[in-house]
Amino acid sequence: MIGVLQYDFGEIIIDGLMLGHHEEEYKEKIGIVFDSGYFYENLTLEEMKKIISAAYRNWDEEVYQGYLKNYKLDSKLKIETLSQGMKMKYALALALSHNAEILIFDEPTSGLDPKTRQLFCEEMIDQKKHGRTILFSTHITSDLDKIGDNIILMDRGRILKEATKQEFLMGESTVEAAMANLITEGGKA
């Protein structure tokens, strides 16, 4: 979906734009946060921002600076000096500063302290209120209890169940309990 790997079949269309035919417009609509490894560690936050912002026509410097202030991040700091939580906040600031309509996160809360996890979940709830679509992979099911609307349970690349959160819960009080039941039943959803 983000153009890192080639897909085998099918097509991906966002707002009428097909992946492979409208790359530039397509990527403007997406903000991505990986779990690690995509920053140049020896750069400052400001230097990294210059690289990232150049890729987006809709970059909003005021929004970016607001996130840095809100997250208490100094743009002169080198990325290698940031904690895991600070890197996640910085990645979030970058992903949210070009008015992306779709936010994609890979394990966004793993390795975060409870306060930073709560801040992330609150930010995602706010982003949902502003009409953004949020996709994220996670093993921390309590995050899905807080912010999930639709859930896809996968095991070894196979979809076991896809449903709204209410349908997914099937009478259970937490997503984790519902997932445990599905996996125990051998994926019969």
pLDDT, tens digit (0-9, with 9 covering 90-100), for 98-155: 989 999 998 888 878 888 888 889 989 999 999 999 998 888 889 999 999 999 988 8
Q: Are 120 and 92 in contact (CB under 8 A)?
A: yes
Cα gap 68→74, rounded to integer Å: 7
Domain ranges of the chain: 20-141, 149-189
pLDDT tops 90 at residue 7: no
Mean of per-residue pLDDT scores for the chain: 86
Q: Which of 127, 129, 131 is nearest to 108 (CA)?
A: 127
The CATH number assigned to the domain with range 20-141 reads 3.40.50.300
- Give, in order, the Cα–Cα distances in Å from 143 to each of 41, 112, 165: 28, 12, 12
Taking the alpha carbons at both ends of the chain, their separation in whole angstroms is 26
Q: Is the pTM of this model over 0.75?
A: yes
pLDDT tops 60 at residue 4: no
Q: Which of 126, 121, 112 is nearest to 35 (CA)?
A: 112
